[in-house]
Amino acid sequence: MKQLELSDRQGHPKAVKLSERVHWIGALDPNLRTFDIILKTANGTTYNAYAIRGSEGIAVVDTVKEGFADDFFARLESIADYDEIKVIVLNHLEPDHTGALPELMRRAPGAQLYISQKAQSMLKALLKHERMSYTPVLTGDRVSLGDRNLEFLHTPYLHWPDTQCTYLPEENILFSGDVFGCHFCDNRLFNDRVGDFRFSFEYYYAHIMRPFKEYVVCALDLIEPLPISVIAPTHGPILHDRPERYIRRYRQLSGPSLESEISPQQKTLLIFYISSYGNTRRMAEAVYSGAMQVPDVRVSLYDLEGGEVEPFVDLIEEADGLIFGTPTINGDAVKPIWDLLSSLTVINIKTKLGGVFGSYGWTGEGVPLVEDRMRGLKMRVPIPGLRVKLIPTDEELDSCREFGFQIAQELMGLRKRKVLDMADLV
Amino acid sequence: MAKATITFEDINVTVTVPAGTRVIEVSEKVGSGITYGCREGDCGTCIMKVTSGWNHLTEPSVLEDKVLRENMAGKHNRLACQAQALGGDISVRPV
């Protein structure tokens, strides 16, 4: 297969053709191993940017990370003069795509910047010392380059509030920002030429897009009706060979991770516990039996000592309610509980029902600390946590059963609203 | 003294309060999931959704409006540390 030429004979980076009028002008970063702290990459990434030539000017879609600006400008200069640039589009304002923006605006003073409505405050915060004029756009807005047009699709939270896609209808090319991207660096650039990037594609979705599944679905509703020949994302391979496969895969990934096992009127409640001397375990079993008394609640009990975090995350994503049982050791909840709680940022658990219980020896801080964490994750925690000093008595186990029963009742919407007077609050 | 009620939908609790009470004065005491940062209208941590009774709250100040805009707050969102109940029935929840 013929090698793509990313540089000219003198070694200067040059643009790569997607079509007669559309070029890749991005940069390769093969040495990157960790992206955004949370993502690993075994062979680096690419910062993809594109130039589109219309009869009345050129548009640049996205830029690159600041340290890679030289490659970006060299590639841009290989196909365009700065005074031809009329339009700059930023689909996403994260610094790996805006690093070259201030310099590009200086070099192309005749260009107008287009960003999403939600990107406005971010632009100001990212480029604090730069004064830039810009036009905010939404779905349905378009900008003309003469015989080429750019249409904007508002696709927020993929994966920042500001994200959008830009569509070139004359060539059926979707400039998708981080959507359909991945951290995979291969100088052959196109999906039918590069090495096997399937794992990178899935891994990127799982860490970047999965927390925003509901927004992925909204974006797909906008994207799927479009005729698309090429998906041009900001990271990883350009998807020009059967791009519809990647759209279809996003649709699959945005559905439930596990097949539903319950009927529509049922709700699922998961109880996770860990126990050193069996006290929190006894509490967990009592909470479990109390919750089981409420019809249509499918209750499960898991000892964290016997499980890995990742399958539990999949279960939690589909669950309606979560209860954690933790002992307190040295004034804190225990590490397996925190390990699971800190792994929930890859899924959306907002508004799920939560509750906490646990046995303690001295002061019992573990329970309120986990409650605070649940609230921080935007879960609902309507029933105050339940703590028992050391070995639970029969009466205390009754309280645990009542705790489980109340949470299950709340889950089914059967609990009466509590009415209080402020004067009675401590 | 005039009274208002504030319902915290996330925990299914209604509290009767004297007019002039800020939401922050009640929400933590009853265990609502509205979380706080600076507690003085600057950081935007305590943005909440007012699901009903919007007109029973004090108007947002210019500064609160600015913080809400900067945090891309949605329609009918307020800062729980700033909004005061004037009377009537108000329902809120964390965003």
Q: Which of B11, B14, B26 sits opposite A419 (nearest CB)?
A: B14
The whole-angstrom distance between B64's CA and the closest CA on chain A is: 16
Whole-number pLDDT of residue B1: 77
* Structural domain includes residue A259: no
Residue A210, in any domain of the structure: yes
Residues B41/B42/B46/B51 CA torsion (nearest 10 deg):
60
**In a shared domain, residues A224 and A278:** no
Q: Do A425 and B21 touch (CB under 8 A)?
A: no
Average pLDDT over residues B38-50: 94
| pLDDT tens digits, B54-86 | 999 999 999 999 999 888 888 899 999 999 999
Which CATH number covers residue A389? 3.40.50.360
| Average pLDDT across chain B, whole number | 94
Q: Are residues A350 and A201 in the same domain?
A: no
**Residue B72: closest CA among chain A residues belongs to which residue?**
A118
A3, exposed or middle or buried, with CB in 10 Å at 0-12, 13-18, 19+?
A: exposed
Q: Are residues A328 and A395 in the same domain?
A: yes
The continuous run of DSSP H or E covering A175 comes out as strand A173-177
Going across the sheet that includes A112-116, the strands are A16-17, A22-24, A50-54, A57-61, A85-89, A112-116, A134-137
CATH of the domain at A222: 3.60.15.10
pLDDT at A49: 98
Residues 367-386 of A with CB under 8 A from B: 371, 374-376, 378-382, 384
pLDDT attached to residue A34: 93
Shared domain for A239 and A361, answered yes or no, is no
Q: Provide the number of structural domains found in chain B.
A: 1
pTM, to two decimals: 0.85
Domain assignment present for A420: no
pLDDT for position A2: 60
Work out how many domains chain A is built from and give that number: 2
Question: Number of residue pairs across A and B with CB atoms under 8 Å?
Answer: 62
User: How far does A1 lie from chain B, in Å, by closest CA?
Assistant: 49
What pLDDT is recorded for position A3? 63
* Domain boundaries, position B85: 3-94
Pair (A27, A87) in one structural domain: yes
- Please check the confidence at residue A244 and state whether its pLDDT lies above 80: yes
Nearest to B14 among A410, A415, A417 (CB): A417
- In the DSSP assignment, the letter for residue A187 is T
Residue after which a domain boundary falls, among A253, A283, A311 = A253
Confidence of residue A38 (pLDDT cuts 50, 70, 90): confident
Can you tell me the mean pLDDT for A300-326? 95
> Can you give the residue range of the structural domain that contains A144?
16-253
Q: Among residues A70, A136, A146, A78, which one has the least CA distance to residue A104? A: A70
pLDDT of residue A129: 67
CA distances from A187 to A6, A46, A195, A199 (A): 8, 9, 10, 18
Question: Which CATH number characterizes residue B78's domain?
Answer: 3.10.20.30
Given B14, B30, B94, which is nearest A425 (Cβ)?
B30
Mean pLDDT of chain A: 95
pLDDT, position A124: 84
Over residues A125-183, the pLDDT tens digits come to: 887 767 778 999 999 999 999 999 999 999 999 999 999 999 999 999 999 999 999 99
pLDDT of residue A1 exceeding 60, the answer is: no
What's residue A426's pLDDT? 75
A424 touches B: beta carbon within 8 Å: no
Residue A170: inside a domain: yes
Average pLDDT over residues A288-300: 97
When CB atoms are compared, the residue of B17, B70, B72 closest to A422 is B17
Together in a domain, A249 and A276: no
The verdict on ipTM greater than 0.90 is: no
Residue A230 above 60 pLDDT?
yes
Inter-chain CB proximity B26 and A422 less than 8 Å:
yes
- Mean pLDDT over A99-108 rounds to 95
The predicted-structure confidence for A327-349, as pLDDT tens digits, reads as follows: 999 999 999 999 999 999 999 99
Q: Is the pLDDT of residue A372 over 70?
A: yes
Do A279 and A246 reside in the same domain of the chain?
no
Question: Is A2 inside any structural domain?
Answer: no
Between A120 and A54, residue with greater pLDDT: A54
In a domain? residue A258: no
Nearest-CA residue of chain A relative to B71?
A121
Interface test with B, best of A375, A386, A411 (most B CBs within 10 A): A375
Residues A153 and A287 in one domain: no
- Indicate whether A224 and A281 sit together in one domain: no
> A422, A424, A425, A426: best mutation site toward chain B, by most B Cβ within 10 Å?
A422
Residue A7 domain-assigned? no
